[in-house]
Amino acid sequence: MAGGSLSFMSPGLPSEPAPPLEGVRVLLAEDTPYVRQALTDILESAGAAVTAVGSAEAALAALQAERPDVLLSDLSMPGNGGYWLIGQVRALPRERGGATPAAAVTAHTGPEYRASVLKAGFQYHVEKPCGIRELVRIVAALALNEEARWAT
């Protein structure tokens, strides 16, 4: 076919799947710098936008200013710890972050700690060290619960 052209319409290759935490805003309260950085790196590599702070007080201020989708908190931090933080969060009205889904990420292990964490207002008790997949799965589950809660 002289002078003609041939073109193809291609549906293209499937794009890479979105990271499991794409668009999820996570507030992380962890006082140990290297643990805070490691958790931040894991969550960001899964697509999350992470605000990481070193104290419960800073976390409470960040939660009220930024309204994250998920809160992750260590239990033992200098000053007030994770139990204090979740108590303060749960005392807030829903529209100010009081219903923010939360997980305690802690070295405190065993059924007695799990029970106290859940009773305090956290939805999950994550034992350190935790696997990358486990952490991402828990944050994704918490974020989905938040979306469902606000949709109703």
Domain residue ranges in the chain: 25-151
Retrieve residue 87's tokens: 């108590």
d(CA 28, CA 48): 11
Which pLDDT tens digits describe the chain residue by residue (152 residues)? 445 443 334 454 455 566 799 999 999 999 999 999 999 999 999 999 999 999 999 999 999 999 999 999 999 999 999 999 999 999 999 999 999 999 999 998 999 999 999 999 999 999 998 899 999 999 999 999 755 444 33
**Domain 25-151, what architecture?**
3-Layer(aba) Sandwich (3.40)
Contact 77, 104 (CB under 8 A): no
Three-state SS at 49:
strand
**Which pLDDT belongs to residue 145?**
79
d(CA 75, CA 117): 9
Q: CA of 49: how far to CAs of 73, 88, 112, in Å?
A: 16, 23, 32
**Which pLDDT belongs to residue 18?**
61
**Which pLDDT belongs to residue 120?**
97
**Which pLDDT belongs to residue 19?**
77
**Which pLDDT belongs to residue 146?**
57
Alpha helix stretches (DSSP H) within the chain: 33-45, 56-66, 82-91, 111-120, 132-151
d(CA 9, CA 25): 38
